[in-house]
Amino acid sequence: MKAEHLLPRLLRNPRPAILALADGSIFRGYAAGTPARVQGEVVFNTAMTGYQEMLTDPSYHGQILCLTTSHVGQVGVNSLDAESDRIWPRALIVQDLDVEPSSWRSEENFEGWLEDRKVTVGWGFDVRSIVRRLRENGAVPGVLIAEGEMNSELALRESREACGTDGCDLASEVACSESYRWSDGPWRSPSHHATDNDAALPVVVIDLGVKRSTLRRLVAEGFSVEVVPPTTTAAEVLNRKPSGILFSNGPGDPAAVTRVRTLAEELLGRLPILGICLGHQILGLALGGRTEKLPFGHHGGNHPVRELATGRVLITAQNHNYAVDEASLPREVEVTHINLIDATVEGIALPRLAFEAVQFHPEAAPGPNDAAGLFSRFFDRCREATR
């Protein structure tokens, strides 16, 4: 057998690729997946596992995702780990792309899965250098060129014309257009508050890009879950007679999601409310606060957050570029959690309105389960309100 046949298929005839950032940086590597020229805001995620969950998380809509873990694709993909029906990042950047899965759970080859969904993948890039640049200069728009002429000057020009997420209501592009019910629990199920479906508490989820893991956690806690579009009115939500309301995670600039902010203002104080990530930011705006863009955001599964009431430190999963400005919040709003890396607000509450919101993802997927108790606390508040 010739030595060239012993090489992985991607190395036999590699296609060149260029990643250009709007700050003037150029990085070279190779391409897989669909040949294309892809623009988006470039962000990095530091999680070591969970690439399928990240790629199917609607919060990445409008972005080019760079993964810091060395090997991506080694466990393939499967139907259980998908957080939605499609891939949301506009492109993927990795150091090493494994084309042969090695896992009993794998149902499909990772590269083939990406190719079938027409996703462009940059591999063989120096992701460490990319991440250092983003940490120094912040998340910036960029372009991944994986077709045609590999011209650095042209790539830089296109990167300067690329758009970020500022001022963009991306939640409306990822949310459902019609309401639906969700009844599946986690495939590795935590303890339930209720196992009898007749005893389940009804909850309405305002879909801003909700992850399936969030819906599964709600079912596991004992909720009967209905997901509704962000265009749903307050009257339509209340007519469903839910025991509580959840504003979900999602992508984009929270200040641009004005319709949902109005919805939150109208629902605050009517029922127990839980907000997650974008939902947290929108609820902060509804209370009169402001949001600000972080230099390069929080994306990963190892962010330490202090729960101020107990002093406990939670290791959390996060995926966001914006945060609530603490100084802008009314005095009566309680800050419940802070980020121990940069001291940004990670949670807020207003007990008289039965309201709580967190910036991190308590459902994890991928990430640790330190914060999963927030769903139990939400269930308890909803059950108490129905008595």
Asked if 363 is an active-site residue, the reply is yes
Report the candidate in 6, 10, 19 with the shortest Cα–Cα distance to residue 98.
10
Identify which of 82, 111, 114, 106 has the alpha carbon closest to the alpha carbon of residue 96: 111
- Can 299 be counted among the known catalytic residues? no
Both structure tokens of 123: 């591999």
- Give the 3-state secondary structure of residue 121: strand
CA-closest candidate to residue 232, choices 252, 204, 253:
204
Alpha helices by DSSP H, listed for 162-257, are 171-174, 212-221, 234-239
Tokens found for residue 256: 């641009």
- How many Å apart are CA 24 and CA 20, to the nearest integer? 7
Annotated active-site residue 361? The verdict is yes
Report how far apart, in Å, the C-alpha atoms of 198 and of each of 202, 223, 224, 246, 289 are. Answer: 10, 10, 9, 21, 39
What's the rounded Cα separation, in Å, for the pair 173 and 153?
Answer: 32
The first and second tokens of residue 23, run together, are 């700050």
Enter the tokens of residue 38.
Answer: 């892809």
- The catalytic position among 277, 280, 307, 356 is 277
Catalytic residue among 41, 307, 356, 363: 363
C-beta separation of 365 from 220 below 8 A: no
- Name the one residue in this structure whose structure tokens are 């980020």: 339
* Backbone torsions φ then ψ of 238, nearest 5 degrees: -70, -30
**Scanning the structure block, which residue is given the tokens 């956690």?**
217
Task: Indicate which residues carry an active-site annotation.
Answer: 277, 361, 363
